[in-house]
Amino acid sequence: MSASGGGRKAASTSSADLVDLLARAVGAVREAAAFALDPGEELRVEAKAHRNDLVTQVDRGAEERIVRRLEATGIPIHGEEAHRVEDFETYRGRVWVLDPIDGTLNYVSTHRDWAISLALVDDGVPVVAVVADPVAGRLYTAVRGRGARVEPLTEGAAGAVGAAPRVLETVEDLPLSEGMVIAHYQLTQDAGIGRAIEASRGMRCYGAAALEMTEVAAGGAVVYAQPRLQPWDVAAAALLCTETGVVLTRMDGAPFDVRRAGSLLVGTPAAHAEVLEYLSPDRC
Ligand code: IPD
Ligand code: CA
Ligand code: CA
């Protein structure tokens, strides 16, 4: 299914509207998470573009559940599996951007480190974010200009260890030497990233971009780098990052626009600057 609307001017959204839209988004993600945690049948796994690009009936079913819950908002949906907005790269106005399961390989293979990622993007700027880590029982949310928080995914539950409701404070501006780098395996061949990893406390790779970006926003790592991501991978976690003072650019330092696929370099201001320096073509 696709919707058009490129060139449409944004309806201005008040702060109260955004809080209402966040509540709807949270309800939709909670329903999809419960379904994905217990779909009640064997997984049917198919490959898409290549053998490690997987989709299951749960990715599709989670997307459908969220789309149904958000229909009443009248806002179009740009989702990974079946709902596309035409000319998304230049889309103006409000649009939900959805990855029903981020980290499908993990969902299928290790059963952890997968997420549901939903953002409301207005004129290319994320204004509402929901990232669920269902296995850890955590729900991360943000409204632009109003900060980010984490709470138990299940309403009323004590939640997993560390999931007590709390505001995500502005990240401590740690340098590379005091934190972990999360990098995609393809980047281990990159000399600049290799030097950055050596200067850090070590490298991790969890295989779900939304959770990896969220880890930086939550202070668990100082850098995340990836050679190519899609809008649905990053839209929600990008707001968690900006609301916590984390810097996002392309890996060459160019400005980042969530509507366009491309590389991503996320970090505390200090560590982000250090990695850019290591990646600089003058420093080989
Ligand atoms: C993938 C994950 C992975 C990233 C890939 C994405 P998917 O999302 O975020 O960490 O390295 O580029 O495609 O396909 O599981 O939704
Ligand atoms: Ca994804
Ligand atoms: Ca996905």
Instruction: Assess whether pLDDT exceeds 50 at residue 10.
Output: no
Domains with residue ranges and CATH for the chain: 2-168 (3.30.540.10), 176-279 (3.40.190.80)
pLDDT, tens only, 201-232: 999 999 999 999 999 999 999 999 999 999 99
Ligand 1, closest atom to CA 226? 11
Looking at residue 8, its pLDDT comes to 44
Q: Ligand 2 centre and the CA of 6: distance in Å?
A: 23
Q: Which atom of ligand 1 is nearest to the CA of 104?
A: 15
**If you average pLDDT over residues 74-95, what whole number do you get?**
97
Q: Please, which pLDDT band fits residue 56 given cuts at 50, 70 and 90?
A: very high
- pLDDT bin (cut points 50, 70, 90) of residue 15 is confident
Residue 51 contacts by C-beta under 8 Å, 6 or more apart in sequence?
none
Quick one: which atom of ligand 1 is closest to the CA of 212?
A: 10
Q: Among 136, 127, 146, which residue's Cα sits nearest to residue 238?
A: 127
Q: What is the pLDDT of residue 12?
A: 56
Task: Count CB neighbours of 269 within 10 A.
Answer: 14
Q: What's the 134 CA to ligand 2 centre distance in angstroms? A: 15
Separation CA 140–CA 210 (nearest Å): 11
Ligand 2 mean position, distance from CA 284 (Å): 32
pLDDT of 76 > 50? The answer is yes
Residues with CB under 6 A from ligand 1: 99, 102-105, 184, 207-209, 226, 229, 233
